Amino acid sequence: MQLTPLRIVGGTPLLGSIRVQSSKNAALPIIVSSLLTSEPVTLHGVPRLSDIFNLLEIMGSLGTHFTWLGEHTLRLHTPVLASTEAPFELVSKMRASFSILGALLSRAGVATVGMPGGCAWGDRPVDQHIKAMKAFGFEISELEGSFHAVRTGVPRGTYVFEMLTVGATQNAILSSVLSQSEGNAGKVTLENASIDTDVVDMVNFLNSLGANIQGAGTHTITVEGVSKLSGGEYEVIPDRIEAGTMMIAVAATRGCVTFSGVRLEHLRALVGKLAEMGVSVLESGDTVQVDARGMTLHAVDLTTSEYPGFPTDLQPQMCALLATAEGTAIVVDKIYSDRRSHVNEMRRMGASIEVHDHVQVIRGGSLRGTTARAADIRAGGALVIAALAAEGTSTIEGMQYINRGYENLAARLSSLGASVQQLEPELAMAVD
């Protein structure tokens, strides 16, 4: 669905205070994990984003009853599975839905899930998901873009991931949680597992319901099967990517904002780069003040890597900031080397960015307002940041992508003094 654009008048420093939204990327696998229990689950801190709504539509087709109990509190209940097949037309919208394969295998012993979709960039295969499950004894076949999986016995074995992968680690864990029958419990071990915060949060949620998963936050995770999980309540962690995007926006506009509800230990790589550029970042408990008022910021080189390294999901936003700094920066994305749909749009805003294979060379200067279109979530965040820092007025299109990762973005930025307006349909038609 095409949504109306944002109109942003740049050049105003962001000032004030704001609370960080809860993590979309942590909430999605936790919602899927609720399939493993027949009892009700209440989740606090679930952001109202299009990805969340799309996943709930898939969950509903599988038999999940869900109710919003408050603005960000969600009750989920799957007493009986209505289906073990996730509709292809829904799964194809978002990559995170592929973890349903592991969840259905755990709960029902059989699953059919289509090839996942999501942002239209990059080669993001699911081979590590499939190889791990096959190593544990699952039979998996692919036909016409869908995977059909069957549990043939108690899951056992060890799999060494060929790369650090958040989604495959989560899927492999989910596939083996409910693997105890008549005293015969499965046991699987994941080596070279992801230590990402979203993996840890999902494991903490599952363990709170009675799962037996050890080693989350390390590269070796062991899952010992249990016969059932209970219901319960859980609060999702803060969103480090939304927090990072907003912190970068403050630096790009040379503003000063205090963030509450932040887990700065999840953002050490970003904080280090901001400090290296000349931004002041002061921590006090769960609040963080980012101050760039009156500062001359200097270019820094940047290479993304798996957590706890610099997140690929903040790479485009950081490029927008570097486009306003003094000097030349070299940016390398080791995770998704072709994650650069922001480049041509930022060039239209006056950014000096050269691309050599998988390397971006950014020469800082000034930006000017124009019309730009987001092609994915994080490119959208970058274009918003560039527009906030630019001279003049910008129109940012592609809100259907931006709304996948940022809740009430226009209102949240306006609360910090930005001139941001969601265009009415008639105005949007005039600028297309």
Q: Which residue is it, tokens 């990517």?
A: 241
Cα 123-124-125 angle, rounded to 5 deg: 105
Quote the tokens at residue 143.
């036909």
Closest CA to 221 of 290, 289, 169: 169
Sheet holding 187-191, edge to edge: 156-160, 187-191, 220-224, 212-214
Question: Would you say 245 and 227 are in contact if contact means Cβ atoms under 8 Å apart?
Answer: no
* Cα 100 to the center of its chain, rounded Å: 17
Distance CA 116, CA 124 (A): 10
Catalytic residue among 20, 119, 211, 243: 119
* Cα 122 to the center of its chain, rounded Å: 15
Distance CA 29, CA 12 (A): 37
Cross-strand partners of 259:
18, 288
Residue 11 — φ and ψ, nearest 5°? 95, 5
Catalytic annotation on 256?
A: no
Distance CA 9, CA 410 (A): 12
The number of residues making up the chain comes to 432
- The one-character DSSP state at 23 is P
Distance CA 145, CA 307 (A): 30
Distance CA 422, CA 432 (A): 14
Coil, strand or helix at 98? helix
Pairing verdict, β 156-160 and 187-191: parallel
Q: Which residue is it, tokens 């592991």?
A: 102
Distance CA 360, CA 92 (A): 30
Question: Would you say 126 and 116 are in contact if contact means Cβ atoms under 8 Å apart?
Answer: yes
Cα 389-377-259 angle, rounded to 5 deg: 55
Residues labelled catalytic: 119
